[in-house]
């Protein structure tokens, strides 16, 4: 069977989604693979739709794995949630066609970055938001988001995930299609929402870090748009911390039923 799962996790204590050498710390992929092996008695490779960085969370990550086990999806879900740590949960699971691949079949991914914009910090959401007490002009940041839309080189904000793969020497493209980009305020929370066909490593966090300069009126719309157009990593925006970022949704063609 080829099984697809919707996964939610608190990334605080993980060295990212992707399996790493043990010295780097635990990973979400490692936790999932260990749990699957414990249930089925055989090792299955888990493939994720997004390879989130260390400290990044997910409410809508999608993974798939293949297994010779005849357990039903319902039994798999109960069994996995019973033995995995409380920081990782399977929200849904279903059998999918053999052609389905969590990463390569995806049409788009959506990320949300959360700012807590208040003088006082909020301990209850501190693990999932970036506290910025300074005044931020949301309308300016939302306007700047429009410069991100479309198919373009996003090299100013990240690098291709393939750059660290010795089997893929390059050249590595930083061209992606940004389908949605917005910034809105809800009380003390500021949400940055981005949907693209794929993302570069560190891309959302550095976009947010640069948009914060716009929100503080330290960078104009034209200056931000020029950074996007030049696709040069040398610019004043720095990456926002990982703990404010969450992978919230992955979209697939309807024929997969995911």
Active site residues: 53
CB–CB of 194/204 below 8 Å?
Answer: yes
Phi and psi angles of residue 35, each rounded to the nearest 5 degrees, phi first? -65, -40
CB–CB of 61/9 below 8 Å?
Answer: yes
Instruction: Give the Å distances, CA to CA, from 57 to 1, 16, 176, 181, 222.
Output: 28, 9, 22, 19, 32
Peptide bond into 240 cis (omega under 30): no
Going 227 to 232 to 233 to 235, the CA torsion angle's sign is negative
Q: Which residues contact 233 (CB under 8 A, 6 or more apart)?
A: 155, 156, 157
Angstrom distance (rounded) from CA 127 to CA 244: 7
In the beta sheet, which residues pair with residue 244?
Answer: none
For residue 87, what are its two tokens?
Answer: 């920081």
Integer Rg of the chain from CA = 19
In the beta sheet, which residues pair with residue 111?
Answer: 194, 247
């Amino acid at each position: 069977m080829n099984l697809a799962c919707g996964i939610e996790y608190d990334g605080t204590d993980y060295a990212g989604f992707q399996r790493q050498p043990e010295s780097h710390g635990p990973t979400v992929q490692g936790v999932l693979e260990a749990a699957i092996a414990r249930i089925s008695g055989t090792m299955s490779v888990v493939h994720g739709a997004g390879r989130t960085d260390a400290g990044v969370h997910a409410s809508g990550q999608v993974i798939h794995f293949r297994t010779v086990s005849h357990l039903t999806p319902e039994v798999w879900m109960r069994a996995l949630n019973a033995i995995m740590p409380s920081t990782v949960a399977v929200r849904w699971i279903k059998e999918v066609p053999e052609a389905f691949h969590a990463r390569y079949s995806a049409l788009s991914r959506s990320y949300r970055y959360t700012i807590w914009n208040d003088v006082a910090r909020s301990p209850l959401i501190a693990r999932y938001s970036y506290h910025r007490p300074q005044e931020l002009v949301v309308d300016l940041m939302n306007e700047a988001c429009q410069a991100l839309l479309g198919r373009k080189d996003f090299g100013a904000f990240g690098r291709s995930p393939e750059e660290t793969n010795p089997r893929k020497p390059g050249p590595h493209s930083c061209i992606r299609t940004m389908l949605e980009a917005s910034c809105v305020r809800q009380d003390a929370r500021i949400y940055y929402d981005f949907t693209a066909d794929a993302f570069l490593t560190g891309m959302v966090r550095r976009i947010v870090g640069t948009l914060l300069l716009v929100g503080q009126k330290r960078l104009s719309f034209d200056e931000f748009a020029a950074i996007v157009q030049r696709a040069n990593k040398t610019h004043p925006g720095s990456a926002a911390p990982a703990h404010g970022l969450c992978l919230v949704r992955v979209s697939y063609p309807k024929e997969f039923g995911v």
